[in-house]
A = this chain, B = another copy of it.
Amino acid sequence: MAARRPITTPRKQASQERSRVTVDALVEATARLLVRDGFDKASTNRIAQEAGVSVGSLYQYYPSKEALVAAVIDRHNRELMQVVRAALAEVAALPIEKAVRKLVVTAIDAHRLDPKLHRVLAEQIPRTGRLEKVAAFNRDYFILFRDFLESHRDELRAVDLELAAFVCVTSIEALTHTAVLHRSEMLSDEMAETLVDEATRLLAGYLMPREGGRTRQLRRYS
């Protein structure tokens, strides 16, 4: 476990219009450099330069490089959650299998929002000690998904919803993440459909009562 954990809370809220611009430019530049050069080569000086701003200004708003990266993570997570939240809302009324399929598709879409950035963040973030950020995202996703399951309880087999949510969220994330980042060939036009089918089958099969077993299931909880 890396020892020194740098402070990562922004230093001051940009109040004036001018500083708002500076701050945005910094976060944007950080994201760009992270993608282009990776975490190590993205020095604060380079970031400032890329943002068209002096290092001094950078440190006026962010106390360290990790704080900047944390800001990028936050922004990215916010975008992801927006997509996920929208999808879950849209899907709330659908039967579970259709819903799951839609969620898988959404997860893929989410990973495709900015795949390069997503990759860098996924790979380089652990170092920044910003794992909590990712954890927070997962927790949010997890909660939303558990709520979703809850409102579909009557379609499900008997199962601990917490646990089921964990299994589902983890699997969806892993499958879509790996497919998008390491197996992009799987997302060719022909293949993508199949992958979605399989993932849907995996999860729907897991969540729903076994066929022919429905009666028994119902009885158990009657």
**In the bound complex, how far is the Cα of B16 from the Cα of A9, in angstroms?**
34
**Is A137 among interface residues, defined by CB-CB distance under 8 A?**
no
Contacts of A127 in B (CB 8 A): 38-40, 123-124, 127
Q: Does B40 lie within 8 Å of A171, measured CB to CB?
A: no
Selected from B41, B167, B203, the residue in CB contact (under 8 A) with A198 is B167
Contacts of A175 in B (CB 8 A): 167, 170-171, 174
Chain-B contact segment, one of A21-29, A79-87, A106-114, A208-216: A208-216
Q: Does A173 lie within 8 Å of B174, measured CB to CB?
A: yes
**Is A206 among interface residues, defined by CB-CB distance under 8 A?**
yes
**In the bound complex, how far is the Cα of B173 from the Cα of A221, in angstroms?**
29
**Is A91 among interface residues, defined by CB-CB distance under 8 A?**
no
Contacts of A90 in B (CB 8 A): none
**Is A144 among interface residues, defined by CB-CB distance under 8 A?**
no
**Is A182 among interface residues, defined by CB-CB distance under 8 A?**
yes
Closest to A206 in B: B202
Interface size on A, residues (CB 8 A): 49
**Is A183 among interface residues, defined by CB-CB distance under 8 A?**
yes
Selected from B3, B126, B198, the residue in CB contact (under 8 A) with A163 is B198
Q: In this complex, which of A1, A123, A159, A163 has the most chain B Cβ atoms within 10 angstroms of its Cβ? A: A1
**In the bound complex, how far is the Cα of B213 from the Cα of A220, in angstroms?**
12
13 additional contacts (CB under 8 A) given A3-B37, A122-B126, A174-B174 = A1-B120, A3-B41, A123-B127, A124-B126, A166-B183, A167-B199, A170-B175, A171-B202, A205-B206, A205-B210, A206-B206, A211-B217, A212-B216
A residues adjacent to B (C-beta < 8 A): 1-3, 37-41, 120, 122-124, 126-127, 131, 135, 159-160, 163-164, 166-167, 170-171, 173-175, 178, 182-183, 186, 194-195, 198-199, 201-203, 205-206, 210-213, 216-218, 220-221
